[in-house]
Chain A
Amino acid sequence: MTMDPKHFKENILLYGVDLHQWPEEIGQEGAELLQKFPGLQTILDEYEQFEEVLKTRKYEEPSGNLAQRIVSLSLHQEKESRIGLGFFLSRLFADELYLPKPALIVVSILTIIALLTGFFIGFSNPSRTVLTDQRQTNLQEFLHYEEGVL
């Protein structure tokens, strides 16, 4: 794409007034256009002045001990990084199994559903119910295991 004065102006806004800072492929083109249209120099000067004004914005240096303060504080709050279940699962699936994010969400949801179903089946299974007599017997067996008295 050949550059025209309109694009030249847009590029000044995007990359600044220093043509050497422009991306290589358009920097040369910009310099050639500037030679072709000397009027563009006025625009360049105008934007240079504008950038100078922008640079006068107030700025305060940080305190000299900022870095030291951060390092000291980090020593005080030294705690083991805690890993939650969600984080653990995401690291497990993302790192070990290399799943993309949407698949990771589906797998996580399916895992949770499977776990819940397992719990539900486990707790609602009638075969697991123990009759009082049987429980008492078992308790007796446990208490008098190998003739010993607990």
Chain B
Amino acid sequence: MIFMHPPRFHYLMVDHDNRKTAINMDIHFQHLDDESLICQIQEGKHEAFGEMVDRHSKRFYSTAYRLLFSKNDAEDIVQQAFLKLWERRLFWNPNKGAKFTTWFYRVVVNLCLDHNRKKKPMPLCENMELVDEKDGQEILLDEKRKQALMDRFIKELPERQQLALTLCFYEGLSNQEAAEIIGIKLKALQSLIMRAKTTMKEKLNHHFD
């Protein structure tokens, strides 16, 4: 009988002093679903945590970015959320049968909302002046102006409408999952999406027509 070790792969860890260390990771973690992975994390297996971060950091960054309108803030929030997950790994209750991503979306969304409430509103500069009217730059500035205007309209939406639009339209989650994340009933969520899109459509039509 031939005994085979499970296949392993490496990832590079960079510490504060910029030293790089190769970390072995059992490849079987890649095949585990999120809920099994979180059980491994609870047992203190750091490689499982690494796999979870690898698997989901981009997705949660995207949500955070849509809610915070800032790359740095979004990265900080995602970092904070994952570090909390590792630090308080025993708080997750696997017996409740909740989907990990739904629960973690809630964590990230709550951190973003707290962050937005604490932060002073920054004026958005949609009234950009043209300095040099070269062909390419004019188009680019127009594009930037439109994006800034859209950000402003989204920011003007009530918090829950903003959330519904982000989760369902930009993140492509189902209405049911978004309702669970926000903690409201499906009908209420659908009403939020309809109001958010209707308002956005009216404002965009008014401005660009």
Contacts and interface: CB of A to CB of B under 8 A. Distances in A.
Interface of A: 10, 13-16, 50-51, 53-54, 56-60, 62-63, 65-77, 79, 81, 83, 87, 91, 94-95
A51 B204 CA distance: 11
User: Do most interface residues of chain B lie in helix, strand or loop, or is the interface mixed?
Assistant: helix
Contacts of B200: 50, 54
19 contacts: A13-B194, A13-B198, A51-B169, A58-B147, A59-B62, A60-B65, A62-B57, A62-B75, A62-B78, A66-B78, A66-B79, A67-B53, A69-B14, A71-B11, A71-B53, A73-B79, A74-B82, A74-B86, A81-B90
Interface string B136-177: 000000010011101100100000000000000110000100
B206 to A, nearest CB: 13
B134 interface: no
A13 B150 CA distance: 18
Contact of B50 (A14, A57, A71): A71
Contacts of A68: 11-14
B150 A54 contact: yes
Contacts of A87: 91
Nearest to B170: A57
Contact of B201 (A50, A77, A95): A50
Contacts, number: 112
Contacts of A95: 93, 95
A76 B147 contact: no
A30 to B, nearest CB: 16
Nearest to A15: B175
B119 interface: no
A14 B175 contact: yes
B196 to A, nearest CB: 9
Contacts of B208: 53
A66 B74 CA distance: 11
B16 interface: yes
Contacts of B133: none
Q: Return the 8 tightest CB-CB contacts between A and B, nearest first.
A: A58-B147, A74-B86, A62-B61, A60-B71, A67-B57, A13-B194, A71-B50, A70-B82
A65 B50 CA distance: 13
Contacts of A63: 71, 75
A69 B198 CA distance: 40
Given A63-B75, A74-B86, A57 B150 contact: yes
A10 B152 CA distance: 25
B89 interface: yes
B193 A57 contact: no
Most B CB atoms within 10 A — which of A72, A76, A79, A83? A72
A62 B90 contact: no
A81 B42 CA distance: 10
A94 B93 contact: yes
Contacts of A15: 175
